[in-house]
Structure 1
């Protein structure tokens, strides 16, 4: 998946898991600072945060 912004439904489809499992994992990643949420969107879009070494 090369889309830097993806909906929960898109992630669910690509990962072949249900949307509630995606939501749970996204909440976990958000709380750890690995992803951010788009505050201006009505849908839940996830923006990947790049890591630096």
Structure 2
């Protein structure tokens, strides 16, 4: 069970890092919509993986 918790913690950390990247991109003078879309897609996929455990 400990290994599963550490895996979820690692996924959560990656999810948080993606959130920070999305936030940074959103606040740029000219946000890259394609990059934002990809980051949000990655974040959603991670969220789904986390909640599947």
TM-score interval for Structure 1 and Structure 2 normalised by the shorter chain: 0.3 to 0.5
Q: Where is the strand percentage greater, Structure 1 or Structure 2?
A: 1
TM-score calculated relative to the size of structure 1: 0.35
TM-score calculated relative to the size of structure 2: 0.35
Q: Which has the higher contact order (CA 8 A, sep 6+)?
A: 2
Q: Where is the helix percentage greater, Structure 1 or Structure 2?
A: 2
The higher radius of gyration belongs to 2
